[in-house]
């Protein structure tokens, strides 16, 4: 995606700032662009600046300028939120038309709008007042995150049985032992391997060191024996596709789903990201503190890591039993008096 050709100047400057100064990844910058493009398209339709019958996805935004963004009101943003929750198609690529995107997706789009206006007022000094400063984000429902148990994780690792067994087992092992993101695994190069650790490039091109336990080191060594026999098109990529190029995110997602099915697990409930979550949960349950986990997972803020600090039902039962009132019973004689 080339936002530089599609975005108006005022939006392009904001995106370049995030890419060059803030160091955000291409994917993050693209998400900012898509979120703000949809917002501007809605505003043009809502204000009657384009024919009412216009398709939202076809409305151009090249004429959006400073006067346009300055005129945005808080009520218009809330109208946009209502549109997202009621009338926005959930999945543009799906054949099944469902309307209303999730609270988490709406919150991300609102975060993009707030970031854009903060840039215009604080960094670029193009606006004196921020019209969305008091904008509230949608309340996100608190749900218990899904993760595999230790026994289920072992079943998943034992289930690998494909023409790329060494590669697939190695990828699953890194997911479950190291907690890497799928983009980080796909982006690994042979040169990132060390004797006892990986050099990982995470979000915002931030580097970190992830140490390897014995099982993961063994899985990598076994895969390298296979990898060295492949005349790779992409010589630098660690994990290769059947076409001998760098493996794609889609291929990893597909491999994870197939492995889950072979392990007899519900592939609709789990994903590559849930494997990262599983790694974090297993480490927390076995004594790793949350700040160490923050460093390992590559989270910039501790509150991001804290979503993994859910307590399982066993701990909740122990906590309930530990309450000194847990065995209290009303005095039988007192009950008899009350009955009289």
| Active centre residues (catalytic) | 181, 203, 273, 276, 299, 308
In 96-247, alpha helices (H): 103-118, 150-158, 165-178, 182-186, 214-227
Q: Name the residue with tokens 């990132």.
A: 192
CA atoms within 13 A on the CB side of 25: 13
Q: Which residues on adjacent β-strands are paired with residue 207?
A: 201
Closest to 6 measured CA to CA, from 237, 172, 15, 284: 15
Q: Please give the full DSSP string across 66-120, using - where no structure is assigned.
A: HHHHHT--HHHHHHHHHHHHHTSBS-TT-SS--B---HHHHHHHHHHHHHHHHII
Cα-based distances in Å from 88 to 11, 237, 271: 23, 39, 25
Burial 189-221 (b: 16+ CB within 10 A, else e): eeebbeeeebebbbbeeeeeebebeeebbebbe
Cα-based distances in Å from 61 to 44, 146, 150: 8, 40, 50
Max intra-chain CA distance, the chain = 91
2 token code pair: 């080339």
Alpha carbons 273 and 145: distance in angstroms, whole number: 11
């Amino acid at each position: 995606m080339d936002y530089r050709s599609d975005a108006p100047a005022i939006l392009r400057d904001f995106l370049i700032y995030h890419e060059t100064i803030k160091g955000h990844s291409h994917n993050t910058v693209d998400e900012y662009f898509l979120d703000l493009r949809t917002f501007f398209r809605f505003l043009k339709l809502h204000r009657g600046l384009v024919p009412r019958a216009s398709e939202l996805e076809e409305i151009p935004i090249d004429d959006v300028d400073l006067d346009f963004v300055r005129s945005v009101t808080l009520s218009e943003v809330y109208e946009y939120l209502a549109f997202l929750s009621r009338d926005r198609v959930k999945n543009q690529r799906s054949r099944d038309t469902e309307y209303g995107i999730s609270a988490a997706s709406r919150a991300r789009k609102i975060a993009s709008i707030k970031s854009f206006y903060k840039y215009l007022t604080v960094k670029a000094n193009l606006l004196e007042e921020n019209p969305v400063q008091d904008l509230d984000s949608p309340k996100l429902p608190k749900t218990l995150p899904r993760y595999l148990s230790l026994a289920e994780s072992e079943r998943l690792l034992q289930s690998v049985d494909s023409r790329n067994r060494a590669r697939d087992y190695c990828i699953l092992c890194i997911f479950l032992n190291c907690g890497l993101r799928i983009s980080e695994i796909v982006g690994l190069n042979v040169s990132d391997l060390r004797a006892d650790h990986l050099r990982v490039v995470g979000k915002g091109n931030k580097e970190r060191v992830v140490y390897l336990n014995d099982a993961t080191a063994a899985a990598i060594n076994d895969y390298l024996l296979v990898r060295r026999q492949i005349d790779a098109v992409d010589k630098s990529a660690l994990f290769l596709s059947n076409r001998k190029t760098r493996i794609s995110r889609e291929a990893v997602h597909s491999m994870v789903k197939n492995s889950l099915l072979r392990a007899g697990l519900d592939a609709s409930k789990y994903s590559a990201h849930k494997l990262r979550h599983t790694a974090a949960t297993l480490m927390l349950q076995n004594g790793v503190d949350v700040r160490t986990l923050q460093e390992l997972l590559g989270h910039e803020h501790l509150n991001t890591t804290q979503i993994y600090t859910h307590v399982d039902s066993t701990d909740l039962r122990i906590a309930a039993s530990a309450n000194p009132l847990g065995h209290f019973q009303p005095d039988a004689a007192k009950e008899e008096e009350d009955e009289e």
